[in-house]
Structure 1
Amino acid sequence: MSLYAGMFFCDVDGTILPHGQREVSSDFFSLVHEAKKKGYLFCISSGRFHLSLLPLFEQVKDEVVFSASNGCRILYQGQELLPNHTIQTSDARQITNDLLSLGAIPLLSGKKAIHLPFSALEQEKSKGYLSKGFTQTFDAFSDIDDEILQITGVCRQNKAAILNQSRKTWAARYHVVTTGKELFDICPTSKGESLLAISSYFGLSRQNTYAFGDDENDIPMLGAAGKGYLMGTAHETLKAQEFEHCHDVVGTVNAILLQ
């Protein structure tokens, strides 16, 4: 029997952080504390690299589970909760070359850093990733001394064509999902699989799990949860999915806690 009454799995960008907002609200931190008192855990489930998540949630970093890189790396109280999911080295090398040839910037998320090909430095968007302080450049793929968890394609143009080609090549072996206007991820696991693994670790039944998200990479998580909520700001193409729409994460979770 679980020590917890239930668990909330929340996407970050577009969900906890409405588009354009850079800091997590104090209301959300208060919600995490209140939920904990009532026996509920929170999981921060994001496609982001783990080191970009930790500063956002500094106030509750020891109270929440972090499921980073779409579930490839799961951390709790500073420790790896479950084994990492990784991309085979030969595949990671080929995916990197494929994305470069298609005109996309490949960002390789590892355990230690985000790895960016030096050849992509001239592309303006890549400079923003370098400024974050956890990005390293490489000339040859063999220079990378790290496990590769997922690869993100940054597409300044022709995203649809690049995404379509990447799915044709890799969707049989990896999850290939959009995560933003210019971004898509190639990943060995999904947010849905990580929800099931984390729930099992804490002994929670599916019916006591709730998930919130707004993009394609969130759909497996919403479907795996006992109750999935799609944010009202999600793209219209996703709203055909049979999930309840949510316009206020804090208010919705508070209502659940009061049940």
Structure 2
Amino acid sequence: MIKLICSDVDGTLVPDGGHELNPEYFDQIRRLKKAGILFAAVSGRSYSSLKKLFAPVIDDILFICDNGARTIYQGSLLSCYTIRHELAMELVREIEALPGCTTYISALKDGYVKEGADELYRWLTEGYQLDITKLRRMPEDLPADDGILSVELYHPTAAEEIAHQGLYQKWHGHRELQLVCAGKQWMNFTPINADKGIALSEYQNMHGISPQETMAFGDNMNDASMLLRADYSYAIGNARKEIKGLTRFVADTNMNDGVLQVLRTIK
């Protein structure tokens, strides 16, 4: 019997940066909860964005935010991992030096971009509906008292390709950080002890839920560790081929509400 259903958000439930869900998702989430099945939104987004997207069912679901750096249920913080401030600043300086790239920082109190990154600011605030502060200097003006959950390289079309021109080779395998692609625009750096799969595994162990009782949906490389911890693993129809290669099933695309189609079949 399924006890936990986990789904990525961007590229899986909605297009990247989307801020509206098909309202039937809320009906299905409530129905599943009554049947003893918990739904988890597992996303690279911060809680400030997810709680708006899932507002009608905010107390009915589990939130695994910032690619696993923070887990929240019914407003209570279950786990939280941060990046050392000095390490984050070093990383941001390298990102900001790359052609066409800039940085988004997700932190406990706020999100941060630099002044002048107007396209990114609009997308984060209007699409993702994040709470964002502009900094005159990046990273020098980062508040020292705000815990950094993730550092994200942004490029409008080719984040992964640019990162593989040296940045990836330097930071991949770092003893304090994980680096993963989250879409054509994003490369995400998170604490080494925080990713979607680790956060899911911690929750499974805490509540005695096995992979055989878990279903998961995803589309990109930052979903891989989560999908590997669910026996009922689904790549969405528009997923990367690497993700389709590691899951047991393939659902329809996000534009056709592929996840919703599967949820309707669960009794």
What TM-score results when the alignment is normalised by the length of structure 2?
A: 0.86
Distance 1:238 1:7, change over 3 A: closer
Identity of aligned residues (%): 27
Mapping 1:96-245, distance limit 5 Å:
96-103=92-99, 104-118=101-115, 121-122=116-117, 124-129=119-124, 132=129, 134-138=131-135, 139=137, 140-141=139-140, 143-144=142-143, 145-156=145-156, 158-164=158-164, 165-173=166-174, 174-188=177-191, 189-245=194-250
* Superposed displacement of residue 128, structure 1: 3.4
Distance 1:111 1:170, change over 3 A: same
**Other structure's SS at 2:169 match:** helix
Distance 1:238 1:5, change over 3 A: closer
Q: Distance in 1 between matches of 2:18 and 2:149?
A: 27
**Other structure's SS at 1:99 match:** helix
Task: Tell me whether 1:69 sits opposite 2:66 in the alignment.
Answer: yes
* Superposed displacement of residue 30, structure 1: 0.8
**Other structure's SS at 1:81 match:** strand
Distance 1:33 1:242, change over 3 A: closer
Q: Which amino acid aligns with 1:233?
A: N
* Superposed displacement of residue 152, structure 1: 1.0
Q: Partner of 2:255 in structure 1?
A: none
Q: Distance in 1 between matches of 2:198 and 2:110?
A: 24
Q: Partner of 1:249 in structure 2?
A: 259
Moved over 6 A (4+): none
Give the unaligned 5+ runs of structure 1: none
Q: Which amino acid aligns with 1:152?
A: E
Q: Deviations over 1:50-84 (max 9, x none)?
A: 101111101000000111100111111111022x1
**Other structure's SS at 1:115 match:** strand
| Aligned alpha-carbon RMSD (Å) | 2.1
Give the unaligned 5+ runs of structure 2: 253-257
* Superposed displacement of residue 205, structure 1: 1.7
Distance 1:55 1:157, change over 3 A: closer
What TM-score results when the alignment is normalised by the length of structure 1?
A: 0.89
Bigger mean CA deviation after superposition, 131-140 or 53-62: 131-140
* Superposed displacement of residue 92, structure 1: 0.3
Q: Partner of 1:49 in structure 2?
A: 46
* Superposed displacement of residue 244, structure 1: 1.2
- Answer yes or no: is the 8 Å Cα contact 1:10–1:213 preserved in 2: yes
Q: Distance in 2 between matches of 1:133 and 1:231?
A: 25
- Answer yes or no: is the 8 Å Cα contact 2:8–2:217 preserved in 1: yes
Q: Partner of 1:31 in structure 2?
A: 28
Distance 1:230 1:157, change over 3 A: closer
* Superposed displacement of residue 204, structure 1: 1.1
Q: Distance in 1 between matches of 2:246 and 2:31?
A: 31
Number of residues of Structure 1 aligned to a counterpart in Structure 2: 251
